DNA sequence: GGCTCTACTTGAACGCGTTCAAGTAGAGCC
DNA sequence: GGCTCTACTTGAACGCGTTCAAGTAGAGCC
């Protein structure tokens, strides 16, 4: 639409981003300097800051990339499978598969992502859109399956599953078994447990318990996580 | 025992640490420079590095301090109460109470603690002693209570409770409600749920489920979390 | 009193993320 | 062709964590 305004800038932006991601892959995040990125991209250091607020913000691009890959991979699974088990398992496996190539710098990613003041923080307002999208995948896992759930459970479950997924990723980040085999095992076994839990909760006996759990979760989510503390500045 | 060897050095070390903690409280972690710490302590910058490997390592001291306070506070509760509910609630409340004064720089704490390559990481080999101690508190919560649990559950539950506690702290870190009221509410409500879960698991109906859950948890814990990835250097 | 050894201490210098004042190049208008 | 405006670009400089070569002071020994 406005090719004049963007084309040149967009190109520079892309050059910087590619240079950054290449170098991150090659030698890791910490070992990559902004000077090196600028040099590889053929621009001045200052220019990188014209396009990206900070070194951390360069990660956000990579983040988005992974997310999109996962969405695509999930779509395939969800178009194929009808069983709740297969759908959940497929989506979870797709997630691990997508992030596997980046395992070596997962730590840094997580470190910045975990900072409450960071825009990369998955609970932050800035990443709400991505979080919502990710939750929607789980909503689809449930909605498109041949298993019928009580409405209350179906309403809150996607958020719980998103949290569950975050837990698995947390384990994965710390996992250095070959090929992250332990993470895959955790994922498979815990999916089974999650499904058992879900079917258990259909028992009337457990209804009051489920109800309390769900209202708690919903209540805690109700007020969106507030903005980063003003006192705390990101470095 | 060796007062000669240590006294002078220990004193300098203490000076630096106090200066650091004071400044952290006053203006936060990021805003405090090593130069400022050194100046306040009346030593040269380089000297601070003789006693502490890095700025991050200064946090570890604070970490240890909090942990000890919590142990003391828990002991009081555990000496008083016999009910499982009261004991767990008391220990969890003590935890929040202990860390509350440091809420403002919890973010930074967590950020470094979350880095798999950091010595502060609660899963790291370096913090195993503290983790074990913390888990032992939960073991005592159970052992000293008037509630009888199946041996398998009693064996694995402390670890699960430690993880549960970590989850609550994670929420607290991101909580900016006044006085962290939401965190306290989460804690109280989730303790109730945990207790219900525990009693639910005494039903024979749920035994196989419990068994699978426990073997999974035990299995994942069995191999200790390996050393930090070699590729990943801490900045 | 001098020698040696060890535990501590210094501060200049380095590397790197980030900022900012000073450009520059092209588009649009006259 | 010149004027102006905007989008982009530059690289020197700053601040801060960290390192390191060069001390220094006291203890123990002769």
Alpha carbons A204 and A231: distance in angstroms, whole number: 48
pLDDT digits (tens, 9 = 90+) for A56-94: 889 887 777 788 899 999 999 999 999 999 999 999 999
Angle (deg, nearest 10), helices B181-200 and B151-174: 160
pLDDT single digits (tens) B131-186: 889 999 999 999 999 999 988 889 999 999 998 998 898 889 888 899 999 999 99
Q: Is A28 on the interface with B (CB under 8 A)?
A: yes
Q: Which residues of B touch A231 (CB under 8 A)?
A: 28, 104
CA torsion angle A144 A148 A150 A154 (round to 10): -20
Q: Which tens digit of pLDDT belongs to each residue from A161-198?
A: 998 998 899 889 888 899 999 999 999 999 999 999 89
Name the minimum distance, in Å, from the CA of A126 to any CA of chain B.
14
Q: What is the percent of chain B with per-residue pLDDT over 90, rounded to a whole number?
A: 46
Tell me what the pLDDT averaged over chain A comes to: 85
Q: Which nucleotide has the least CA–C1' distance to B9?
A: C8
Structure confidence at residue A2 as a pLDDT band (50, 70, 90): very low
Tell me the residues of chain B between 158 and 187 that have a Cβ less than 8 Å away from chain A: 171, 173-174, 176-177, 182, 185-186
- Spatial separation of the C-alpha atoms in residues B63 and B57, rounded to whole Å: 10
State residue B174's pLDDT score: 83
Tokens describing residue B27? 């203006």
Evaluate if the CB of A33 falls below 7 Å from strand D.
no
Chosen from A23, A107, A213, A233 to mutate, greatest number of chain B CBs within 10 A: A107
pLDDT band at residue A103, thresholds of 50, 70 and 90?
Answer: confident
Place of tokens 């001291």: B61
pLDDT, average across residues B81-86: 96
Alpha carbon of B216 to those of A5, A190, B114, B156, B168: distances in Å?
56, 8, 23, 10, 22
The tens digit of pLDDT for each residue in B14-67 reads 999 999 999 988 888 889 999 999 999 999 999 999 999 999 889 887 777 788
Query: Looking up tokens 């798999």, which residue turns up?
Result: B116
What span, in angstroms and rounded, lies between the C-alpha atoms of B194 and A183? Answer: 25
What's the full length of chain A, in residues?
235
pLDDT band at A143 (very low <50, low <70, confident <90, very high): very high
The nucleotides of chain C lying under 7 Å from a protein CB are 7-13, 15-21, 27-28
Estimate the crossing angle of helix A84-99 against helix A181-200, to 10 degrees: 150
Confidence of residue A45 (pLDDT cuts 50, 70, 90): very high
Alpha-carbon distance of B51 to B6, in angstroms, equals 12
Residue with tokens 């390592």, as numbered in its chain: B57
Are residues A110 and B116, on separate chains, in Cβ contact within 8 Å?
yes
Supply B3's token pair.
């007062």
B216–chain A Cβ distance below 8 A for any pair: yes
pLDDT higher than threshold 60 for residue A234? no
The rounded distance, in Å, linking the Cα atoms of B144 and A175 is 34
pTM: 0.79
pLDDT digit string (tens) for A26-40? 888 889 999 999 999
The answer to whether the C-beta of B204 is closer than 7 A to strand D is no
- Strand D bases contacted by the protein (CB, 7 Å): 7-13, 15-21, 27-28
Q: Which of residues 31-60 of B touch strand D (CB under 7 A)?
A: 32-35, 45-46, 49, 53-56
Please give the pLDDT value at position A129.
Answer: 78
Q: Which two tokens stand for residue B146?
A: 């008037």
Interface of B with A in 121-140 (CB under 8 A): 121, 123
CB atoms within 10 A of CB B89: 20
Q: Annotate B197-232 with b (16+ C-beta within 10 A) or e (fewer).
A: ebebbeeeebeebbeebbebbeebeeeebeebbeeb
CB contact under 8 A, A104 and B229: yes
Chain B 14-33 contacts with nucleic strand D (CB below 7 A): 32-33
Query: What is the pLDDT at residue A182?
Result: 93
Q: pLDDT value at position A208?
A: 86
Q: Which stretches does DSSP call E strand in A82-214?
A: none
Instruction: Give contacts of A160 with chain B, Cβ < 8 Å.
Output: none
Which single residue is written with the structure tokens 């910087």? Answer: A16
pLDDT of res. A63: 79
Residue-level pLDDT at A223: 57
Identify the CA nearest to B97 among candidates B109, B89, B105, B107.
Answer: B89
């Amino acid at each position: 639409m406005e090719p004049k305004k963007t084309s040149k800038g967009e190109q520079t932006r892309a050059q910087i981003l590619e240079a950054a991601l290449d170098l991150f892959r090659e030698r890791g995040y910490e070992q990559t300097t902004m000077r090196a990125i600028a040099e590889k991209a053929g621009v001045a250091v200052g220019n990188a800051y014209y396009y990206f607020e900070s070194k951390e913000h360069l990660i956000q691009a990579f983040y988005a990339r992974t997310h999109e890959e996962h969405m695509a991979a999930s779509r395939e699974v969800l178009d194929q499978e009808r069983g709740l088990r297969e759908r959940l398992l497929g989506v979870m496996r797709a997630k691990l598969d997508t992030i596997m190539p980046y395992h070596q710098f997962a730590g840094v990613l997580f470190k910045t992502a975990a900072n409450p003041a960071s825009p990369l923080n998955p609970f932050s307002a800035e990443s709400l859109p991505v979080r919502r999208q990710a939750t929607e995948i789980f909503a689809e896992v449930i909605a498109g399956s041949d298993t019928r759930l009580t409405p209350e459970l179906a309403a809150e479950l996607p958020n719980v599953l998103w949290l569950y997924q975050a837990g698995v990723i947390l384990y994965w980040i710390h996992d250095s078994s070959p090929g992250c085999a332990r993470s895959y095992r955790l994922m498979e076994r815990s999916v089974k447990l999650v499904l058992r839990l879900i079917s258990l909760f259909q028992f009337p006996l457990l209804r009051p318990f489920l109800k309390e759990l769900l209202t708690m979760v919903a209540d805690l989510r109700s007020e969106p996580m507030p903005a980063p503390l003003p006192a705390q500045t990101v470095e």
